Chains A and B, each alone.
Chain A
Amino acid sequence: MDEVLESYQNAFVEAFELEDKSQLSTLKYQSIEEWDSIGHMALMAELEVQFGITIKTEDLIQFESYNQGVDILARYNVSITL
């Protein structure tokens, strides 16, 4: 698997303590119990660590799904191919 994609997926797995990656593509904010406001902060922190970036608040707010996150991280020159 592409390393960047793996890092992206690992951020979700770590933040939400997922058992596998099979449901990632359908994940949205509040679609699972773990992705609440606290989980959202945890996810943003994981992504910042994984990619060495600082996510602006306006992007943090727009980051509402696994798929949408790809476009947002592109703004930080993180290129992810799903």
Chain B
Amino acid sequence: MSLLQKPLVVQKFRDFHDYVKNNDGKIGLKQRGLDMNLNNGCNLKCEHCFTLSPQGLNTKERIPVEKVKDIGDQADELGIFEIDLQGGELLLNKEYLFDVLNALGTERFYVYLTTNGYFMTSEIATKLAELGVDRVSVSIDSMDPETHDTFRGKKGSWERAINALKLVQEEGIAPYLNITVGRYNVDSDDLRLLLEYSKDNRYTTLLNIATPGGMWRNMHEICINDEDSHHLINMRKHYKNLLRNLWDPFDRNREGVIGCNTVNRLYITPIGDVLPCPYVHIKIGNIFESSLKQISENGFRVKYFREYSEKCLAGEDTTFIKKFMAKEDTTIFAPQLIKDLFSAEEILPDDISLPVPRHYSIMY
């Protein structure tokens, strides 16, 4: 669906654009998105899974549909314009997914699904388009099927992923090819081939930086370094379809960094805990106990989440990683708590004011 067919989203996206431009190209305290892990069950066993689905962690819990509606209402009031529905693997429960999309009010958001693509069919793609899904992100690790299948723990997963992107494109949904990038592949032929494939097929490529959490807990050797980060920016100048959430999407020089999106882009788990992002497993609230606004303000009181960081805290900031992400037994379902983790000096005074979204009511 064309973004221009969602006027409420256009207004909120414009607000985000204006805020970033007026804030020296930095994301500041502007809320942009929500990632919702609706259910952690998955059919694959990816080596790097940050939610520990391969270990069967909390696969029964789901965010209730009526709560999704409430989250959508609160997110809209905060000016949040993009929502990423993810798991686990959502297409394992497609009827529940369709109910969620119906409840969310997709006309209010740029909606996308992150999926491994294994269960995608043209019928499902058609239905997703009808329900207002704007984008489908599928992760692919290599243009060599065997490499991808081995990494994902299931033979045939590469072919299904490749096919899923084609199917959604045919339905007018924006296909995003997600690539996890770490020290191990940042300068590899695998990565280059994936980038070329994505460009040739008119997909958008989203880079996710490898983080030492979940199945890869304490594997610091996977983290990119400063040189790698600059290499990725140089690649961005060459591949105009390349994105990272950290980068300024509005910078025409393709160099700007809006900063780490912790709290600007919240992550909600199936049990309602809210984390600053999918990869920082520190709880800043629970959606069944507090409002999104309260949770966001609470999160921004932590100086690391409030202050500008040109590095991804979870994947590039080695000091942050070693200090706050190394505790054993930490998972998205057993996150660390602010009160246990940060000193008084690391919690800023309780005077956070989130930017007030412009009132938008467009008459047709």
- Whether A and B are associated in the same complex: the answer reads yes
Known: A29-B4, A57-B362, A58-B362. A42 touches B10 (CB 8 A): no
Number of contacting residues on B, CB 8 A?
21
**Of the residues B2, B202, B250, B364, contact of A29 by C-beta under 8 Å:** B2
Q: Would you call B240 and A34 a contact (CB within 8 A)?
A: yes
Chain B residues contacting A58 (CB-CB under 8 Å) are 7, 362-364
Summed over the interface, the residue pairs from A and B with CB atoms below 8 Å come to a total of 44
Tell me the A11-48 residues at the B interface (CB within 8 Å): 14-15, 17, 29-30, 33-34, 37-38, 40-42, 44-45
Nearest 7 pairs between A and B by C-beta? A37-B3, A41-B17, A57-B11, A38-B249, A61-B4, A61-B7, A61-B10
Chain A interface residues toward B at CB < 8 A: 14-15, 17, 29-30, 33-34, 37-38, 40-42, 44-45, 57-58, 60-61, 64
Set of chain A residues within 8 Å of B21, measured between Cβ atoms:
45
Decide: A38 and B250 in contact? CB cutoff 8 A: yes
Residue B303, interface by CB 8 Å: no
Q: Chain B residues near A30: list those with CB within 8 A.
A: 2
**Chain A residue contacts of B2, Cβ below 8 A:** 29-30
Whole-angstrom CA separation of A29 from B10 in the bound complex? 14
* Chain B positions near chain A (C-beta within 8 angstroms): 2-4, 7, 10-11, 13-14, 17, 21, 110, 202, 240-241, 249-250, 252, 360, 362-364
Inside 8 A of A57's CB, which chain B residues have their CB?
7, 10-11, 14, 360, 362
Q: Is the CB of A60 within 8 A of B252?
A: no
Q: In whole angstroms, what is the CA distance A8 to B65 when docked? A: 47
How far does the Cβ of A3 sit from chain B's closest Cβ, in whole Å? 23
The answer on a CB contact under 8 Å between A42 and B250 is yes
